[in-house]
Amino acid sequence: MSSLLMPSIASGLTLRDYQAEAVQSVYNHLRFRDDNPCIVLPTGSGKTPVMATICRDAVQKWQGRVLILAHVKELLEQTAQMLQRVAPDLNVGVYSAGLNARDTHQPIIVAGIQSIYRRAHKFDPFDLVLVDESHLIPFSGEGMYRTFLEDARKLNPHIRVIGLTATPYRLKGGVICRPDHFLNSICHEVGVRKLIDDGYLCPLRSKAGKAKANLDNLHIRGGEFIASEVEAAMDNYQLVEEACQEIVEQTPDRHSVLLFTAGVAHGQHVSRTIQRIADQECGFVYGETPPLQRELTIQRFKNGNLKYLANVNVLTTGFDAPNVDTVALLRPTNSVGLYYQMVGRGFRLHPDKQDCLVLDYGSNILRHGPIDALEIKDTIGPTGQAAPQKECPECQEIVHAACKVCPDCGYVFPIEESPRHDRKATTKEILSPDTTDTSYAVEGVQYYVHHKLNAPPEAPTTMRVEYQVGLGDYKREWVCIEHTGFARDKAENWWRKRSSEPMPNTTAEAIELANSGVLAEPDRIVVRKTLGKTFPEIIRYDLGAIPPRLDGSEERENDQPDDPHTWIDDDDEIPF
């Protein structure tokens, strides 16, 4: 089966490099592990081609069947339509009471969990289950997924589950990949920063504002700020006036401004104020907006006929408007997932925008961190409820969060201030600093031949250099001795800085020379870690003197193990 576990990239559907890597990571996970993986791809990065490739391979290569599950009607309809658009050769059916569809025989079925969770017996056995937008599954809804999977496993004990999401945690806290969950581990994750740097996502920037918000009395319930308190605090006349004035001032050359508000009354207030200040219409949609009116308003916003659009808890997950070039967060949220989903509306590329401006009036960036380096707190306990506990600093007793005096040692807890939120758009950057540089003292160096995993036998090898910087801690780099072009030029430069010997032509020769003492010894290295990139880079070396050329009389004693270059490593950590 391993020969089949390769993405069918050349079958009419072209994958970007990170999409192909995501597919291959899933297949490797299914091949070598027995639990269920999750793919994490940022909003706007294109998960539909990934899903389509997995579906196609499952059906055409394995002669299998695939079920795609979601828990809201809009996602079902959107998923089915997008699959047909990117891969029209796939035979996709839909099973959903809300969509009045009862397809059961197609090799690929898109289904609503509410409609299908007690009906596994109505379908032929499935081999794969894809859970789209898997972060949306609430704890209360896990039971339906578990019920369906238990029944589906009776029909096929080898059924596997694959999750897809941009945010591998629930909107109200708690990671979704757990040993006791039906999704167990992340098999592949692509960072926002990397896709921005590579030109696949839109650059983000944030600007400071002028208005201040005083929300001292907010409380948290179920992991989120209490909605009524948030709206009461945010729907303040002066705050709305000043914030809306600033939004209009910051967006004269912007095309599509999406505003997230704290409630219906607040959203209506914001919409009226923007319209008055900007002297142009500001649309408004919320959960009870009539479907036809909602659809027409959103369509006008998407086609550029409506510049401003305010909403309440509607235009987050699944809302696709690439033209959004400004996101205004006129509400605080304690949910890192919701924060990501709101900002993520501006990730997509569009010909009419160079970047996306984020105006944060809820201190969300300060609370959760830059969007590419989120501070995730797993706040969900085993019962599915937020864990309201704290630790006594004196005796480390775990007590209830509301406890004022430790029952074990008598420590009096100080009165903590309620969360404060600025009324001005934060000065905190929406993206974290690009890089982190760390200096290490080098304790030893080893050299190995590296064969890239799955490369043909005739493929060139590389020299893997391992710098020991601590007990069991190694930093690696790869020197492309046998390559051509830029990789070879880089290797020659690396060699010249360390040795007076001629550049070798093979990896084995380079290692033999290195172990003969022809390379300058490194004392320290500086390693750069770039957010969103898998592999760190060694950017600076403190080298000792370059040894003289070998001429017999000056030959150095070899203090390395005998023939270490014969130890071949077949892992696949080389980043190309």
> pLDDT per residue over 472-487, tens digit each?
778 889 899 998 887 8
| Residue whose structure tokens are 């290569």 | 61
The answer to whether residue 401 is domain-embedded is no
Q: Which residues pair with 163 in a beta bridge?
A: 38, 131
CB-facing half-sphere around the CA of 327: CA atoms within 13 A: 31
The answer to whether residue 420 is domain-embedded is no
Tokens in use for 476?
A: 């690696």
d(CA 308, CA 320): 16
Nearest to 223 by CA among 387, 390, 391: 387
Same domain, 185 and 213: no
The CATH number for 159's domain is 3.40.50.300
- Domain boundary among the residues 166, 190, 214 is at 190
Binning pLDDT at 50, 70 and 90, where does residue 555 land? very low
Write the CA distances from 568 to 298, 457, 515, integer angstroms.
58, 13, 16
d(CA 19, CA 1): 22
Same domain, 97 and 220: no
Q: Would you state the pLDDT for residue 534?
A: 62
Same domain, 45 and 185: yes
Binning pLDDT at 50, 70 and 90, where does residue 562 land? very low
Say how far residue 290 (Cα) sits from the centre of its chain: 34
Tokens in use for 414?
A: 């100080």
The answer to whether residue 392 is domain-embedded is no
Per the CB < 8 A criterion, the answer to whether 327 and 343 are in contact is yes
Q: Would you state the pLDDT for residue 550?
A: 84
| Residue whose structure tokens are 């630790």 | 391
Q: Which residues pair with 438 in a beta bridge?
A: 527
Span 258-279, average pLDDT: 97
Q: Would you state the pLDDT for residue 102?
A: 92
Same domain, 129 and 211: no
d(CA 235, CA 232): 6
d(CA 562, CA 576): 30
Q: Would you state the pLDDT for residue 359?
A: 93
The answer to whether residue 78 is domain-embedded is yes
The answer to whether residue 516 is domain-embedded is yes
- Domain boundary among the residues 333, 353, 368 is at 368
Number of domains observed in the structure of the chain: 3
The answer to whether residue 422 is domain-embedded is no
Write the CA distances from 472 to 60, 218, 469, 478, integer angstroms.
45, 47, 8, 19
Same domain, 91 and 124: yes
The answer to whether residue 380 is domain-embedded is no
Span 378-394, average pLDDT: 44
Identify the domain containing residue 100 by its residue range: 2-190
Same domain, 56 and 100: yes
Q: Would you state the pLDDT for residue 559?
A: 38
Residue 6 predicted with pLDDT over 60: no
CB-facing half-sphere around the CA of 241: CA atoms within 13 A: 3
d(CA 509, CA 391): 59
Could you give the percent of the chain with pLDDT greater than 90?
45
Span 521-548, average pLDDT: 85
Binning pLDDT at 50, 70 and 90, where does residue 9 land? very low
The pTM is what?
Answer: 0.64
Same domain, 452 and 538: yes
Burial group, residue 119, by CB count within 10 angstroms (0-12, 13-18, 19+) = middle
- Domain boundary among the residues 368, 384, 417 is at 368
Same domain, 533 and 444: yes
The answer to whether residue 87 is domain-embedded is yes
Binning pLDDT at 50, 70 and 90, where does residue 21 land? very high
105-108 own/partner pairs: CB under 8 Å, 24+ apart: 107/59, 107/64, 107/65, 107/66, 108/55, 108/59, 108/65, 108/66, 108/67, 108/68, 108/83
Same domain, 182 and 218: no
Same domain, 72 and 185: yes
Same domain, 124 and 270: no
Tokens in use for 200?
A: 């696949």
Query: 10 Å Cβ neighbour count for 389?
Result: 12
Span 148-156, average pLDDT: 92
Same domain, 227 and 279: yes
